[in-house]
Amino acid sequence: MSLKRPGRFRNSLTFRLTLWYAGIFAVSSIVAFFLFYKLITSVVQEKTDQDLSNQAGQFAAVLGERGIVAVENLALFEAQAAGEKKVFFRLLYPTGQAFSSSNMAYWEDIPIRKEAIGQLLGGAGPVIETVILTTRKDQVRILYAMIGPGVILQVGQSMESYTRIIDAFRGIFLVTMALLIGLATGVGWFMARRAASGVEAITRTAQGISGGTLERRVPVKGRGDEIDQLAMTFNQMLDRIQSLVVEIRQMGDDIAHDLKSPLTRIRGMAEIALTTGKSLTEYETMAASAIEECDRLLEIINTMLMISKTEAGVEKPSRERIDLAGLVREACELFGTTAEDRGLTLSCNVPETCVIAGDVRMIQRLLSNLLDNAIKYTSASGKVAVSLSQIEGQGVALTVKDTGSGISAGDLPRIFERFYRGDRSRSESGTGLGLSLARAIARAHGGDITVESRLGQGSVFTVTLPSSEKDAPA
């Protein structure tokens, strides 16, 4: 266990974010130091070169005004004033031979470069170069300049003081860098922990849910950042999953209840036939009843499969051009006899034609379910009215209105759920799947179904569908 924990820590998001933060900070600091270092060395070199050029100009002026002896004296004076270990002067012939100089005991390692004199004589102007003394690990900046006819000045200035400053800067930078990287690591760790806390909360919630606790939710801290958005999305997904689980459990209970009754009746009839049956007629009656109950079970199962496939998009409706007005008239004619037998008035108000893109079989099933419900729950002398109209910009609206028993306010939000049946509908035959299937079919065609109802005053079901193929979903 102890061997696995360091590995998990190294693979954690917090550790990697901290490492990235500290690494980026370190690289940025090194780049900044390098640029600053180059800037300092460039400024120091430019200042040194300017000092050397000024001295060469001073020597040229003295040579022009007072002669070579004054230049020799000036070289000795300047070397003694600045320090013989800080600067030196040499006066050279164009051949490179020195004929006068300051005290060169400290600078005996400094050569006279013929190449530099050649460049100077070639008209290249003053030549400046850096010489590194390996014996003293010192750098010297040297200038060759023509200060008069046949007189070349070689002047060198030690870079020791500037080098000492740069070395001190480098040491200070390294110490400061170490402290800042440590501080950056601490700040990065804090920021990474703060950023990853939301992810850890989601992980803990997911682990709790995997243990069966669907009621848990990820806390939203209200910062409005991406972690909060992830938490809200995760919570919405959990709400949906919980509602689906509740629906599945409820549907399982309903299926068990609705399948139990037919199976119980089949078993009861078989027991009665086996214990009391004495004639072929009794056995035939039992077989016929069993077939009816089996047909009822098959109807329930087939309807459930159709609803599931339609809602999941597995069974997509065909996109044929169909005359919805003609289908409505046919449905009204088909249920007209049933309405007359129950003493109802069934009216049908539809236009001559109304073309939509859809599946004929599914639309017929939808119409049958709505008309069957309307007739079933409307008492004698009641009315059922079917109408079809075109809605500008919204497609077509199919309305089935009845003067039946109506639906209570408590049952109204749940009537489209599978197997749900209100108290008043339990006295009538049915499976509780008709309205669920009707809504699934309507939505599969890119439409929907709504209901308005008052208890004791009847109901109005309205189905909206796209009017043509271009309005229908792909």
pLDDT digits (tens, 9 = 90+) for 20-41: 777 787 788 888 888 888 888 8
Count of structural domains within the chain: 3
Note whether 315 and 440 are within 8 A (CB).
no
Of the spans 8-22, 130-144, 172-186, 441-455, which averages the highest pLDDT? 441-455
SS3 90: strand
* pLDDT digit string, tens, across residues 387-439: 999 887 778 999 999 998 888 888 888 888 776 666 555 555 666 777 888 88
Count of C-beta atoms within a 10 Å radius of residue 457? 11
The pLDDT mean for the chain works out to 80
SS3 347: strand
Q: Is residue 2 part of a domain?
A: no
Specify the higher pLDDT residue, 313 or 149: 149
Are 101 and 157 members of one domain?
A: yes
> Would you state the pLDDT for residue 257?
64
Across 71-82, average pLDDT = 86
- Residue 47, domain CATH: 3.30.450.20
Together in a domain, 135 and 263: no
The region of weakest confidence among 4-13, 36-45, 159-168, 245-254 is: 4-13
Question: Per-residue pLDDT averaged across 323-330, rounded?
Answer: 92
- Tell me the CATH number at 416: 3.30.565.10
Residue 473 pLDDT greater than 60, yes or no: no
pLDDT at 410: 81
pLDDT over 90 at 172, yes or no: no
In the block, tokens 């009665």 appear at 272
CATH for 250? 1.10.287.130
Instruction: Report residue 75 as tokens.
Output: 């070289």
- pLDDT, position 329: 93
Highest mean pLDDT pick, 2-16, 131-145, 280-294, 434-448: 434-448
Tokens of residue 446, six digits: 């890119």
Q: In this structure, is residue 330 part of a structural domain?
A: yes
Same domain? For 377 and 451 the reply is yes
Interstrand relation of 87-92 and 151-158 (parallel, antiparallel or unpaired): antiparallel
Handedness of CA 36, 38, 41, 47 (dihedral sign): negative
Query: What pLDDT shows up at residue 13?
Result: 65
442 contacts 465 by C-beta, under 8 angstroms: yes
Closest CA to 234 of 254, 257, 208, 258: 208
Pick the more confident residue, 69 or 280.
Answer: 69
Please say which residue of 253, 286, 312 terminates a domain.
312
Pair (338, 307) in one structural domain = no
pLDDT for the residue numbered 333: 92
Q: What percent of the chain has pLDDT over 90?
A: 11
What per-residue confidence (pLDDT) applies to 6? 53
> Do 433 and 328 share a domain, yes or no?
yes
CB-count exposure of residue 405 (10 Å: 0-12, 13-18, 19+): buried
> Which of 277, 312, 347 finishes a domain?
312
Residue with tokens 């009537």: 415
Distance CA 348, CA 404 (A): 17
Nearest to 356 by CA among 399, 311, 385, 388: 388
Q: Does residue 151 share a domain with residue 39?
A: yes
Could you tell me the pTM of the whole model? 0.49
Q: In the predicted model, what is the mean pLDDT of residues 100-104?
A: 86
Pick the more confident residue, 21 or 81.
81
Note whether 350 and 277 are same-domain residues.
no
Of the two residues 468 and 334, the one the predictor is more confident about is: 334
Domain of residue 237 covers 226-312
Q: Which pLDDT band holds residue 123 (cuts at 50, 70, 90)?
A: confident
Within 8 A by CB and 6+ apart from 448, the residues are 439, 442, 463, 464
In a domain, 214, yes or no: no
Q: Could you give the C-alpha distances from 157 to 94, 101, 154, in angstroms and in order? A: 22, 14, 10
Task: Based on the fold, state whether residues 354 and 305 are members of the same structural domain.
Answer: no
Say what angle helices 13-66 and 68-82 make with each other, to 10 degrees: 140
CB-CB contact of 371 with 335 (8 Å): yes
| 180 in a structural domain | no
Domain boundary among 165, 188, 212: 165
E strands in 111-189: 127-133, 138-148, 151-158
What are the C-alpha distances in Å from 370 to residues 186, 306, 333, 374, 384?
Answer: 68, 17, 14, 6, 11
State the helix-helix crossing angle for 280-312 and 226-276, rounded to 10 degrees.
Answer: 170
271 and 358, same domain (yes or no):
no
Q: Is the CB of residue 184 less than 8 Å from the CB of residue 27?
A: no
- Coil, strand or helix at 59: helix
422: its two tokens: 């209100």
Q: Is residue 56 part of a domain?
A: yes
**Is 170 a member of any domain?**
no
* Pair (289, 366) in one structural domain: no
Instruction: Name the strands in the sheet holding 383-391, side by side, starting at the edge strand that comes first in the sequence.
Output: 345-349, 383-391, 395-402, 458-465, 448-454
With the C-alpha atoms ordered 427, 434, 366, 458, is the resulting torsion angle positive or negative? Answer: positive
Tokens (6 digits) for 64: 């022009």
**Confidence at residue 198, expressed as pLDDT on a 0 to 100 scale:** 67
Both 328 and 244 in a single domain?
A: no
435 and 337, same domain (yes or no): yes
| Alpha carbon distance 325, 104 (integer Å) | 118
